[in-house]
Amino acid sequence: MKKETKTRQVHTIAPLYNEASRILILGSFPSVKSRETGFFYGHPQNRFWKVLARITGAPAPVSVEEKKAFLLSHGIAVWDVIASCTIQGSSDASIRDVEPNDLTPILETARIRGIFTNGGTSDRLYRKYQEPAVGRPAVRLPSTSPANAACSFEQLCEQWKICLSFLKD
């Protein structure tokens, strides 16, 4: 079995948000598959899109353009905590040498009512790097990653429903 080496990766996917965004969902760093597709949560086994579709009552988007339209139409901004890091493949556990993203442009443009972290690594790194800078706590949600096999789809949907209360006017 070939062992992957850790390499320095720079985040190349722009954040998605606009002035109508009401919540910000932060992952840790794009997976290899997301880096290949050029958009967030690109791995077909990641449950992010299915969970958001279920809790909003909308059809699950498929193409990158559909995903962007879905997020913006529901007031959801997405980005990642990390701007660059040393990582092995897609393994959050291997992340080292973190340089965080600056969330200021999003927070100055949109009236973000709630910040949510998608999993433990993004939550831990948000608390370390961004929370002191922006002065806003985040709500930790269970990871939608296929690596989080302990959490069923139904459990994810139940816990992710909290996002809805921040989207209502």
pLDDT given for residue 88 in this prediction: 87
pLDDT in tens, 55-75: 999 999 999 999 999 999 999
What per-residue confidence (pLDDT) applies to 3? Answer: 55
Q: Give the count of beta carbons closer than 10 Å to the beta carbon of residue 36.
A: 11
State yes or no: pLDDT of 20 exceeds 90.
yes
Q: Assess whether pLDDT exceeds 90 at residue 7.
A: no
For residue range 69-125, list pLDDT tens digits in order: 999 999 999 999 999 999 888 877 888 999 999 999 999 999 999 999 999 999 999
Question: In b/e form, how buried is each residue of 59-85, taking b as 16+ CB within 10 angstroms?
Answer: eebeeeeebeebbeebbbbbbbbbebb
Architecture per CATH, 7-167: 3-Layer(aba) Sandwich (3.40)
Q: Per the structure block, which two tokens stand in for 32?
A: 């290899």
The pTM of the full predicted model, rounded to 2 decimals, is 0.94
Domains in the chain: boundaries: 7-167
pLDDT at 103: 97
Sheet holding 23-27, edge to edge: 76-80, 23-27, 114-118, 139-141
